[in-house]
Amino acid sequence: MTSIVEIHAYVAGMIKNALVICGLLFGLLTPAHAEAPVVTPVVAPENIIQLSVLPGYQTSRGTHMAALNIQLHPGWKTYWRAPGEGGIPPQFDWAGSQNIKGVQIHWPRPKVSYVNGLRTIGYSDHVVIPIELALHRKNAPLVLAGRVDLGVCQEICVPVSLDFTATLPGNNTQKDPAIRAALKKSPTPARKAGLKSATCAIDPIADGLRVTATLTMPSTGQGEIAVIEAPDQNIWVSEPTTKRRGNTLTAISEMVPPSNTPFMLDRSKIRITVIGSNRAVDILGCTG
């Protein structure tokens, strides 16, 4: 059963900056050499996005599994953890939460699309994002409160901030079907997916590093791509080129830090997600 104690949603800057054209916003968020797409401005509908909290249940590990339930206006989309060069990364703030000492987001498998040559990764229409909460006191009520900043796009992009506050039951063990369905859509862990090896060759370039990941694993389906993430979100990561030959997938990407110089990179903290038409695979770390 879904209950919401208090949900507040507002569109950030809607009065001062009513609409942000995708091309302008992407130009601010991508490197200078990337060409911004040209689009025709349109009027954004009211209530383009709504957020509710699914109160969830206690897990066998003693954590609490809740979820953010996001409903988008038809035809609109928002973005995954690593949104691609044409996307806007979501930002979370859990300030105001009570009896919560840790948060782990279980992202469902996203969809890959291309807009004016830029790859974007995210969700359209509706998505349930499971949130696993580590507690200070087990079997006690908890409050999930905070804010999420998102980009919501169609032909235009609108920056949106969603505030939420919900009191969650501390001793409910009845699993929510919507949350369980979303968890089943999470990327498959590397070992379970049949990953045999993951190696990363790292070479310095003028303004950072080039990472060449070689993965020995079965195919994830048609349209297969790899997403490489740096351990530091301040490091810009280019869209990888992905090639497969038999059971070997190779992905090459460049990482550029704010200093625009080569830097030390811990291979064990590189995250690689392989996304295909059949499934996605989550790979944490690679070797030299």
At residue 43, the pLDDT reads: 55
Centroid of chain to Cα 185: 13
Predicted TM-score of the model (pTM)? 0.82
Tell me the C-alpha distance between 47 and 206, whole Å: 45
For the chain, which ranges sit under pLDDT 70? Answer: 1-45
Domain shared by 156 and 55, yes or no: yes
CATH number at residue 73: 2.60.40.1250
Range of the domain at 259: 188-284
At residue 9, the pLDDT reads: 36
At residue 115, the pLDDT reads: 77
Sign of the C-alpha dihedral, residues 89, 90, 91, 92?
Answer: negative
Domain shared by 93 and 178, yes or no: yes
Residue 242 in tokens? 């992905």
At residue 19, the pLDDT reads: 34
Please check whether residue 107 is in contact with residue 89, taking contact to mean a CB–CB distance below 8 angstroms.
no
1 in a domain, yes or no?
no
Which is it for strands 111-115 and 100-105: parallel, antiparallel or unpaired? Answer: unpaired
One-letter amino acid at 214 equals T
At residue 44, the pLDDT reads: 54
CATH number at residue 253: 2.60.40
Domain shared by 164 and 231, yes or no: no
